[in-house]
Amino acid sequence: MKITKICCIGAGYVGGPTMAVIAQKCPHIQVTVVDLNEQRIKDWNDPNTDNIPIYEPGLSEIVAEARNRNLFFSTEVEKAIDEAQVIFISVNTPTKTYGKGKGMAADLKYIELCARQIAKVAKQNKIVVEKSTLPVRTAEAIKSILDNTGNGVQFQILSNPEFLAEGTAVTDLLNPDRILIGGDTTPEGQNAINALVDVYANWVDKDKILTTNVWSSELSKLTANAFLAQRISSINAMSELCEKTGADVTEVARAIGMDSRIGSKFLKASVGFGGSCFQKDILNLVYIAKSYGLNEVADYWEQVIIMNDHQKRRFSNKIVQTLYNTVADKKITFLGWAFKKDTNDTRESAAIYIADDLINEQAKISVYDPKVSRNKMLSDLDYLQTRSNEENSNSLAIFDNAYEACKGSHAIAVLTEWDEFTTYDWKKIYDSMHKPAFLFDGRNILNAKEVEAIGFIYKGIGS
């Protein structure tokens, strides 16, 4: 089958960038991204591509090149499903907040809704591609829905998990480590796999395109994120030991990172990992293990989450203890709210939980982040349901300038590793603050000796 029309359901952090790159690299394929969120689609269609809803370096240029040529954003979901040969499902799969599996299992209600809508609309054979991160054997459920509620058409279900890191998503899409495609071992399944392989082969070396059965593909995504998160929690666990013993976690990480068996990536101690994938995927893995009675396996992976939560609490506790065991009515400035640099995504950001802890201690929080809006920050706090929207609004002040955000502060907490933070005139910031002035570097991006020479009382992670 030669693919000429693709539809993607879901215009979020995965669907939008992935489809933009496919459209750029495959001008012969019409790519339509659909979403029921009218405002999101309106933002994707904004004539000024700098205003698109997702910030990723290089993304706006790709969208500008392909949009209205062969890349389209629309709310006409059924029309796009009907016309497409390949349908990517890229909707949210949050952790369940209710019922069986609450707090661990993935909530698949949006996936099921997509499957039922595809079954209802499709009049011709379709390839349906799982792009969202899903638990093992979800494809089986999707196929059951499609085969038993459809119009007699034939569906092939493929698993094509994303391996994007937010902030480098465009680079990851243009030059991926690998593309993974899982499908049935039947002749029809292999034909579907080959059709999708041919799409990616327009810019990816075929040696980097791996094909597996669908179950292996689904589990590989969860496993990859679990291993990466495990490394972060491991170095963060060592950071606490370093602080107690007088070792420097940065030096320890550098020493072990030079071991070719270990490598240096994901060994940077920090206030903790965030984002939409790591915690959700590990909890999903824990739930799957428990459902099969593998309690020791579940306990092992759950400890990665426990360590990450501990690191966030430890950081907020350190702020309170260092500021003489009280932050009531003190101004604490957060530099950064996004969970990492070069993205406007705040899901599971450490800043949210640390702000929540400090507001509980009656601190006044000021925030500067170059890409995150005030409404998003307040929404993040409101989602925790710790206090009313009015209380959150009164406790949180958002600035569009770091120098103004820091003025009159008792302490600064660096919570996102934005490059611009390393270029500031820290002497000017110090002079504008209450004394003694404290600097809590939750990302270890500043030079401790330099800021201490200015007069700051510096507190990094694991040193």
Asked if 270 contacts 443 with a C-beta cutoff of 8 angstroms, the reply is yes
CA–CA distance, 444 with 250 (Å, rounded to integer): 8
Q: What is the 3-state secondary structure (H, E, C) of 185-214?
A: CCHHHHHHHHHHHHHHCCCCCHHHEEEEEH
Q: Which is the catalytic residue, given 96, 126, 131, 221?
A: 221
CA–CA distance, 11 with 46 (Å, rounded to integer): 14
Q: Which is the catalytic residue, given 8, 242, 277, 406?
A: 277
Asked if 370 contacts 336 with a C-beta cutoff of 8 angstroms, the reply is no
- Indicate if 391 belongs to the active site: no
Q: What is the 3-state secondary structure (H, E, C) of 273-327?
A: CCCCCHHHHHHHHHHHHHHCCCHHHHHHHHHHHHHHHHHHHHHHHHHHHHCCCCC
Separation in Å, CA 66 to CA 26, 61, 79, 171, 410: 10, 9, 20, 17, 48
Asked if 108 contacts 134 with a C-beta cutoff of 8 angstroms, the reply is yes
CA–CA distance, 118 with 128 (Å, rounded to integer): 9
CA–CA distance, 290 with 298 (Å, rounded to integer): 6
Would residue 130 be called left, alpha or beta, if left means φ above 0 and alpha means ψ between -120 and 50 degrees?
beta
- Indicate if 162 belongs to the active site: yes
296 Cβ neighbours under 8 A, 6+ residues apart: none
CA–CA distance, 193 with 220 (Å, rounded to integer): 17
Residue 62 tokens read as 């790709």
Q: Which is the catalytic residue, given 130, 162, 243, 302?
A: 162
Angle at 16 between CA 228 and CA 150, to 5 degrees: 100
- Indicate if 221 belongs to the active site: yes
Residue 414 tokens read as 């660096």
- List the 86-89 sheet strands across, edge first: 71-74, 30-34, 5-9, 86-89, 126-130, 155-159, 179-183, 209-213
Report strand pairing: 209-213 vs 364-368.
unpaired
CA of residue 108 relative to chain centroid, distance: 18
458 Cβ neighbours under 8 A, 6+ residues apart: 439, 441, 446, 448, 451, 452
Of 420, 416, 424, 274, nearest to 341 by C-alpha is: 416
Show which residues are catalytic: 162, 221, 277
